[in-house]
Amino acid sequence: MVDDLCVLGIETSCDETGVALYHGRQGLLAEALHSQVELHAAYGGVVPEIASRDHVRRVLPLVQQVMAQAGVTARDIHGVAYTAGPGLIGALLVGAAIGRSLAFGWNVPAVAVHHMEGHLLAPLLEQDPPSFPLLALLVSGGHTLLIDVAGVGRYRILGESLDDAVGEAFDKTAKLLGLGYPGGPALAALAEQGSPTRFTFPRPMTDRPGLDFSFSGLKTCAITTLQRAENSPQTRADIAYSFQEAVVDTLAIKCRRALRETGRRCLIVAGGVGANRALRERLQEVAAQEGCRVHYPRPAFCTDNGAMIALVGWLRLRAGIHEPLSIKATARWPVDSLSACDEYCSTAQAR
Ligand code: KG4
Ligand code: ZN
């Protein structure tokens, strides 16, 4: 029975080692995450070689941990899903090599999962999941994508960032405000103390048609504002507020436009920046005004995790999609080149 499939998921594309077990009937059985934030903090950003080495240390103990937590043995696992890209190639290779080897040793199929498909489908892990077709806003450290989603694997990119991804813009702006790495959550916290009226930043590319984004100018705007004003804690909080407000407003304008253009009635928001409270609140308002529903994963499943990889592995495995005896790891991989799993589009079937 395909519904009884149990899949182990391994995520190692960047600076988090995530491992989880997903079961078709019982849902998420167990998940564990190790964040490398402390290792990279001293360098102000992710150091790829340090990331790869730490994944080597962490993956197998985390696999043993989730198997013990779920009370399953290798015999209960029907497939191993690993993140095959996009991401840091050395980091990806660790999860890919270990995942493929476990699958080989256990004599089960391996599934090479696209990291952004993981983010995109993460809302399916929640109660009251979204149903297809829908519009997806993916906002992470490496990507800003507006995607028209007809079903699992049927993705049409409507808009993307022409320069910095949203998370990258948060991180770079946080750095120049003197905040640590990762900057997104720190900038969001500082923005809470900022004045809504002192500075107004532009809403890039909203005054012309289209759904692409550009965020690098906002970082420049933050630098010049900081240079002109006196560099006090209040000024930095005011800049954080105006930066976040400009990002949130820009994303909201483009989501509203995309909902109207596609006629979709359901919006999902995922990826690390999807954990941002101001963004979640604003998109909730936009969706309500447009007569649509908005779905988010819980904040812990907005950022990188193994659960979303296990879920996608299960969805693809049950559609009969898996890898030959080769290790797949690719730093660049367009999300609109994936194969469709049409028959598994409906949410009822997905859970
Ligand atoms: O999805 P993710 O964990 O990793 C990638 O696939 O890139 O996203 C990480 C990004 C980082 O840029 C981080 O600063 C940002 O998400 N982020 C946030 C928040 N939480 C994480 N940005 C703004 N507000 C947050 N609360
Ligand atoms: Zn991610």
21, 310 Cβ separation under 8 angstroms: yes
Q: Locate 4 and state its tokens.
A: 């009884």
> How far, in Å, is the centroid of ligand 1 from the Cα of 300?
11
Which of 16, 34, 140, 145 is the pocket-test mutation for ligand 1 (most atoms within 8 Å of CB)?
140
**Count of alpha carbons within 13 Å of 198, Cβ hemisphere only?**
19
Token pair belonging to 69? 């937590």
Closest of 185, 222, 186, 224 to residue 303, by C-alpha: 185
What does the alpha-carbon distance between residue 217 and residue 214 come to, in Å, rounded to a whole number? 7
Q: Which residues are within 8 A (CB) of 167 and not within 5 positions of it... i.e. 6 or more apart?
A: 139, 140, 141, 142, 184, 271, 272, 273
Question: What does the pLDDT read at residue 341?
Answer: 86
Dist. CA 19 → ligand 2 center (Å): 14
pTM above 0.85, yes or no: yes
Cβ atoms of 247 and 200 within 8 Å: the answer is no
Q: Which ligand is nearest to the Cα of residue 190, counting in written order?
A: 1
Distance from the CA of 119 to the center of ligand 1, in angstroms? 12
Listed as own residue / partner, the contacts of 159-163 with beta carbons closer than 8 Å and 24 or more positions apart are 159/210, 159/211, 159/212, 159/213, 159/254, 159/258, 160/212, 160/213, 161/212, 161/213, 161/214, 161/215, 162/212, 162/213, 162/214, 163/214, 163/215, 163/216
Ligand 1 binding pocket mutation candidate from 190, 303, 305 (most atoms within 8 A of CB): 303
Q: Which two tokens stand for residue 192?
A: 């809470």
Give the pLDDT score at 182: 86
The encoded tokens of residue 242 equal: 């105006």
The residues, ordered by sequence, that sit 6+ positions from 65 with a Cβ below 8 Å of its Cβ are 19, 30, 32
CATH architecture of 2-122+301-337: 2-Layer Sandwich (3.30)
Asked if residues 201 and 243 have their Cβ atoms less than 8 Å apart, the reply is yes
Share of the chain above pLDDT 90, in %: 94
Q: List the structure tokens of 346.
A: 């409906």
Query: Which ligand sits nearest to residue 280's alpha carbon?
Result: 1
pLDDT of residue 348: 38
* Contact criterion met (CB below 8 Å) for 171 and 243: no
Cα 121 from Cα 11, distance rounded (Å): 15
Positive or negative: CA dihedral 44, 309, 138, 238: negative
Superfamily of domain 133-296: ATPase, nucleotide binding domain (3.30.420.40)
Consecutive 10-residue averages of pLDDT for the chain (351 residues): 90 98 98 97 94 98 98 98 98 98 98 98 96 97 97 98 97 95 95 98 96 97 96 97 98 98 98 97 98 97 98 97 94 95 52 41
Strands, E assignment, 110-189:
110-114, 134-139, 144-151, 154-160
Which residues approach ligand 1 with their CB closer than 6 A? 14, 140-142, 167, 170-171, 182-185, 188, 271-273, 275-276, 303-304
Closest ligand 1 atom number to CA of residue 165: 12
Distance between CA atoms of residues 304 and 13, nearest Å? 9
**Intervals of CATH 3.30.420.40 along the chain:** 2-122+301-337, 133-296
Ligand nearest to the CA of 141: 1
Give strand pairing partners of 81. Answer: 9, 111
Strand 266-270 relative to strand 293-295: parallel, antiparallel, unpaired?
parallel
Strand order in the sheet with 154-160: 154-160, 144-151, 134-139, 266-270, 293-295
Distance of alpha carbon 166 from its chain centroid, rounded?
12
For ligand 1, the distance from its centroid to the CA atom of residue 347, given in whole angstroms, is 27
Q: How far is residue 93's CA from residue 33's CA, in Å, rounded to a whole number?
A: 18
The pocket of ion ligand 2, defined by CB under 5 A, consists of: 140, 304
d(CA 272, ligand 1 centre) in Å: 3
Task: Determine the Cα–Cα distance for residues 350 and 313; give it in Å rounded to an integer.
Answer: 12
Amino acid at the residue 297: P
The tokens describing 182, both together, are 């990762």
Q: How far is the CA of 247 from the centre of ligand 2 (A)?
A: 19
